[in-house]
Structure 1
Amino acid sequence: MSKIHKSIAELVGHTPLVELSNYEEKYGLKAHIIGKLEYLNPTGSVKDRLALALIQDGERRGLIKKGDTLIDVTSGNTGIGLAGIGHALGYEFEPYLEPGTTIERVQIFEGYGLNVKSFYDIEEVKDFEKTGLVLDDLIDGIKRIAKEKGFYYTGQTVNEANQEFHFKTTGPEIWEDTDGKVDYFVAMGGTAGTIVGTGRYLREKNPGVKIVGVQAAKSSRPDSPDFTGHIVDGTLPLHGVAEPLVPTLIKTNRDNGFQFDEVIDIKAEDAYATAQETAKTDGLFLGTSAAAALTAAIQIAKRPEAAGKNIVVIYPDNGYKYLSTELYKKQK
């Protein structure tokens, strides 16, 4: 029987789980660190799930049709997903990139033939580096631009289709592939759709699953006075910040009972070290947020109470979009 697919959109999801076996053996870890390789999605990241979810949601509600132009803010991966999946399904896309987006991602957008914009083109948040990024202001700005241009704002930061897609796909995939043996679920957050939707599903299946959020330490946040110059790309704080700065999907799903068991702060420099080490031990080539999430998972694995437990961690993308950064450069 033919296994030829008609579109890359049909290939989103069903990414494999891989244990960090060599690293565990080298350092005598008693827990099992199991990574979900989301960079094996068609355009190279977990955000392909989000892109497909946003497009399907717009079509289902009769808000878009083939030939329309989509618009959203992105650190790169969501935009790349909307470009690739969007083109496959007949849509154009105009991305507004946050500062710090790597040159590789900009080049990918140019390869897709896109008109690339930045946060500085959004009047409502042009001074965010001084004031902090208020998501409501960012959303107001991009909505205004969408209305003026006649584009469709996909709303990755607020659209419940984001976390619902993970509830329906990522969560069940993890549950089935581990035979229901998940003790910890570890992930970073940007929009927080991955951790909210997947976490909700896993906790529904097993209320004892520990949901661990990972966020960049203050020294790795560009809007912090403690910023050292190294960032964990594409992520936002999940906890310990003013309410307007908390990702919308976390706030809206508190009423559904979603909450973190723990939130771990990770410095970018520690994530870089983890990425370089696991490239040598297990052949992984992780992006910054994947390496940061893995760093947190390793911390958990070293705890006595984690012995024999399965720690599932999301690897959102690989390191190919970060070659211009310090991520894989040798430390002096």
Structure 2
Amino acid sequence: MRSCTSVIQAIGNTPLIELGRVGKDLPAKIFAKAEFMNPGGSMKDRIALRMIEDAEQAGRLKPGDTVLEETSGNTGIGLAIVCAIKGYRFVAVMSEGNSPERRQILRALGAKVELVPQGEGGKPGQVTGKDLELVEQRAKELEKQLNAFWINQFHNPSNCLGHYSTTAQEIWEQMEGKIDYFLDVVGTSGTFTGIATALKEKDPNIKCWVVEPASAPVLAGKPVTDPKHVLQGSSYGKVPELWQPELCDGYITVTDGEAIRAARRLATEEGLLVGYTAGGNVAAAIRMAGWCDPGTRIATILCDSGMKYLSTDLFK
């Protein structure tokens, strides 16, 4: 293995792991992309690098500029890493509802963190679409005040391209093209849109399903009964701009309890310490594996590291 000239060269090429223990006795096989093994501990490192480098190539980002982004934490951490290497000042705008570990990591990486109070009735660990609107409002204010370059991941096509060109290609190669289903939650929709587009180009028979919180299945066109859920960084109760419904073949929901139990099982049975959203993905995959034909192959994403949730109730 060659050495890296910087940590950004270590982004990507994460392992794909068959979940043979949590998936034992199920007809289908579950494979999980270990995105928590990226340098910043999440899949968002990939898009951070792609969005920065695309902006540089387009002449929109120049030496000495300040980079700004609204984030639940993971994209911000990825951007903080890339900005540290490339010499940009980075400002992360995030809700107070996100886990405190994320803001601590951001500050340790040299980022300035602008915390935005949650809306009325907000609960730590459960960031809603309303909370996100307050974060976006503050980001717009800071963009003008700081004359900063706003990455704007929710509206940035490079978000999808980061996963289209890397994550999806790796999954295809690691599974040797033998994929029946791909499952993932949707936040900005960059991961789902990018991966689903690439996989369907390679094999139109691959079915791509969205995982949503049981209380907020907005993409499935069902009512939002409670926007507060534990799947941090995803499912904000509104349809993201990058969403492409024609790529989605089906919808499956998980409860908070199912996501938590799956994350705990991944830790104790598979040795994989991951967060709530990865638990949600695997909970959905386990359910799907139970009704699929024998030998069906399901791929999903382990979004981020459980180290970012040690202050929460996830592992208590």
Do the aligned residues in 2 keep the contact of 1:219 with 1:267 (CA within 8 Å)?
no
Equivalence map 1:189-228=2 (5 Å)? 189-218=186-215, 226=226
On the 8 A contact 1:220/1:231 being kept in 2, the answer is no
1:302 is matched by which residue type in structure 2? Answer: G
Q: Is the 8 A contact 1:230 1:269 kept in 2?
A: no
Instruction: Tell me how far 1:262 sits from its aligned partner.
Output: 1.3
Name the aligned partner's letter for residue 318 of structure 1.
Answer: S
**Counterpart-to-counterpart distance in 2, 1:321 and 1:136:** 23
- Give 5+ residue unaligned stretches, structure 2: 123-127, 219-223
TM-score, reference length from structure 1: 0.85
Count of residues in Structure 1 that have an aligned counterpart in Structure 2: 307
> Partners in 2 of 1:233 and 1:182 — Cα distance?
27
Q: Does 1:246 align with 2:239?
A: yes
Match of 1:266 in 2: 254
The aligned amino acid for 1:316 is C
1:323 is aligned to 2:310: yes
Q: Structure 2 CA distance, aligned partners of 1:20 and 1:42?
A: 22
Tell whether the 8 Å contact from 1:236 to 1:247 is kept in structure 2 after alignment.
no
Alpha-carbon separation, structure 2, partners of 1:134 and 1:292: 21
2:80–2:110: 8 Å Cα contact kept in structure 1?
no
Displacement of 1:225 after TM fit?
6.1
Contact kept in structure 2, 1:211 and 1:260, CA below 8 Å: yes
Decide which moves more: 258-267 or 40-49: 258-267
State the alpha-carbon separation in 2 of the partners of residues 95 and 136 from structure 1: 15
Which residue, out of 14, 21, 36, partners 1:39? 36
Contact kept, 8 Å, 1:220 with 1:232, in 2: the verdict is: no
Q: Which has the higher helix share?
A: 1
When normalised by structure 2's length, the TM-score is: 0.89
- Residue identity matched to 2:296: K
Cα distance in 1 for partners of 2:255, 2:119 equals 26
CA deviation digits over 1:64-113, x for unaligned, max 9?
12332111111110001100121112212101112421111121122123
Q: Which runs of 5+ in 1 are unaligned?
A: none
Moved over 4 A (4+): 125-129, 134-141
Aligned to 1:188: 185
Give the corresponding residue for 1:170.
167
Tell me the secondary structure at the aligned position of residue 298 of structure 2. Answer: strand
Residue in structure 2 matched with residue 68 of structure 1 by the alignment: 65
SS at match of 1:70: strand
Counterparts of 2:203 and 2:217 in 1: how far apart (Å)? 34
1:35 aligned partner, one-letter code: A
Asked if the contact 1:94/1:116 (under 8 Å) is kept, the reply is: yes
Secondary structure of the 1:285 match is coil
| 1:261 Cα deviation from its structure 2 partner | 1.1
How far apart, in 1, do the equivalents of 2:229 and 2:196 lie?
28
Q: What is the CA RMSD across the aligned residues, in angstroms?
A: 2.6
- Pick closer, same or farther for the CA change 1:83–1:270 going to 2, 3 Å: same
8 Å Cα contact 2:44/2:75 also seen in 1: yes
DSSP-derived class of the 1:23 partner: coil
Output one character per residue of 1:116-174: Cα deviation in whole Å (capped at 9) or x when no partner: 11334xxxx96796x95397886565234212311100010010011012111111111
